[in-house]
Chain A
């Protein structure tokens, strides 16, 4: 990987971290923690699903994470479970 590509990967990571800044502390912790620890292990398709997840509203995400509702999109629903499981106490 050359320097230019490295910069791009780092910028991509920072962009994602900024998108994970939400209006609620719970979401900040869940999403930012996941990007820091687990995002790089996702497949290309899973990364696209994560991008899609970030477009959901804060309230919907909160309800998915705290099991008050389930996403219709199965890929999103599975990712929500992975994110919940990735939390370190």
Chain B
């Protein structure tokens, strides 16, 4: 079979805000850019980011980038790299103005300036009064940014491969990335896209967990492609969970429900949070509430026929208050659960939300790997957004910083690639042997016979990750989780497809996604088992304190020998003084 080939200066994999921001920078500099997306670009998960984007514009309250930097570092539980964080916070205001000029319809103040709302974790004057830093286009900020970037890319003549699935990166003997093998979902035909530079922007991996807030497309494809190319994943133990997701579905019920007076009960009707947090009770911090729910369910006090959730009670607030203060939450509950929150309790369970870890990069978006002293970039490979770990979110992400992350580092990667292309004017030759591994990966699913189904094994994996690597983590539980994920990995060999047709064979795509999830699950559970402390979103019951002496460092997981390695946190900012680790008090 002759493999079809196309050549571009840059291949961008993923069409969310990070990928499209980089593509735009490149297309405007007359680079020949291809964007590969497994769904139509404007259906990328960036549309789900409704909250807004942080920038210290000081339109509503006094603010400056240095305070934003402090809040981000504190929010990261001091695991964020301070040079990257300074870079992001300094760039934020210009980037927001640039988005506005590109057509994003930000909400306005009466004086015509961009409206800004206060969000949790924002402060004035390094931990002082509440700041108002989040710029929003009503409640459709992510949507507005994504559509604007898509339209600008069409104008700049970026070439889109819609509904193409990326199988694997192509790497030559010297370790240079030369593009990727992709597949048309419509025809099932493979295509080799040769590129001088490749940018991974494939988003997060929320589908690792049974209960999650993410769209079904978030299967961490780029993370697994990097692992298979020999690149480690960084800080994968840090996954953001919210305590109150709709049980069995995952959609978020925001803290506002408990803020308005909602409370949690177990199957005995007991307000169990009084036992776990006698003072704060239902308003205790997210990780405390999440762990309490997990324990109630594990110890047999969960509600429902399977005892696998607890109840959120907001019915005592009355229909009028609910409709006035929590209209969207109530409508979501009515639609997905057929429960009237004004009359009945709402089944809830902790839900996975955001992947803080990812492919290690520097602040230019270059993918970097450790060498004997320091680290070096992988030639021709970049990553941005939720799939990357730059690391500006460290051990936990602040609201409003994810949209900022994608536009700041999307642009930075675009700029660095422009320089790289200037110095690397010609495509390097691709040998057949460079493509062999990716082709073997592609044809693996042609195997026929009896075996287990993709959906069945994915369900098992998600349940294992939720139970053994979710909000309740101990040595014993994580060790069991590791063994169970390794067992799933072995059983992956027994998975077969019953449909071997070419055209729109989505079962085959789901099989690739399952392979990706298994690789990422191993990285996540192994990293969580190894980190013997509690920091940010990684909460170990057996090591409840943060341990800066031993663990103020980034984790790196390698697929080939399942090895963990570590690298220092970059504590030195670009121009200002270091914010030394302190106890976090909010």
Which residues of chain A have a CB within 8 Å of any CB of chain B? 7, 10-11, 14-15, 17-18, 21-30, 32, 57-59, 65-68, 84, 87, 89
Contact = CB atoms under 8 A, between A and B. Distances in A.
Contacts of B45: 23-24
A29 B249 contact: yes
Report the interface size class on chain B: 35 or more
Nearest to B337: A89
B281 to A, nearest CB: 28
A24 B509 CA distance: 19
Given A25-B216, A26-B251, A58-B47, A66 B335 contact: yes
B248 to A, nearest CB: 8
Nearest to A26: B251
B216 A28 contact: yes
Nearest to B218: A25
Given A10-B499, A18-B163, A25-B250, 15 more contacts: A14-B504, A18-B185, A18-B504, A22-B43, A23-B42, A23-B47, A23-B146, A24-B45, A24-B215, A25-B213, A57-B47, A57-B143, A58-B43, A58-B47, A87-B338
B254 interface: no
A73 B352 CA distance: 36
B331 A26 contact: no
B449 to A, nearest CB: 21
Contacts of B215: 21-25, 27-28
Contacts of B213: 25
Contacts of B335: 30, 65-66, 84, 87
8 contacts: A11-B503, A14-B506, A23-B215, A29-B249, A57-B47, A58-B42, A59-B140, A84-B335
B35 interface: no
User: Which residue of B43, B146, B147, B214 has the most chain A CB atoms within 10 A of its CB atom?
Assistant: B43
A46 to B, nearest CB: 21
B339 interface: yes
Please give me the 5 A-B residue pairs with the lowest Cβ-Cβ distance, nearest first: A23-B47, A59-B143, A89-B338, A14-B504, A58-B47
**Chain A interface mostly helix, strand, loop or mixed?**
helix
A53 B20 CA distance: 25
B420 interface: no
User: Which residue of A11, A23, A32 has the most chain B CB atoms within 10 A of its CB atom?
Assistant: A23
Contacts of A30: 335
A22 to B, nearest CB: 5
B355 to A, nearest CB: 15
Nearest to A68: B328
Given A18-B506, A25-B251, A87-B336, A11 B143 contact: no
A29 B250 CA distance: 10
B309 to A, nearest CB: 12
Nearest to B206: A25
Interface in B181-199: 185-186
Contact of A14 (B39, B46, B505): B505
B507 to A, nearest CB: 8
Contacts of A24: 45, 47-48, 215
Given A17-B506, A24-B48, A26-B332, A89 B339 contact: yes
Contacts of A7: 501
A25 B213 CA distance: 6
Contacts of A68: 328
Contacts of A10: 499, 501
A38 B138 CA distance: 34
B46 A11 contact: no
A57 B42 contact: yes
Nearest to B502: A11
B555 interface: no
A86 B543 CA distance: 46
A17 B143 CA distance: 22
B328 A25 contact: no
A11 B43 contact: no
Interface string B330-354: 0110011111000000000000000
Interface in B352-383: none
B59 interface: no
Interface in B495-528: 499, 501, 503-507, 509
A25 B217 CA distance: 9
Contacts of A28: 215-216
Contacts of B331: 66-67
Nearest to B207: A25
B332 to A, nearest CB: 7
Nearest to A25: B215
Contacts of A26: 251, 332, 336
B303 to A, nearest CB: 14
Contacts of A25: 48, 212-216, 249-251
A15 B251 contact: no
Contact of A21 (B39, B250, B332, B338): B39
Nearest to A89: B338
A37 B147 CA distance: 31
Contacts of B509: 18
Contacts of A67: 331
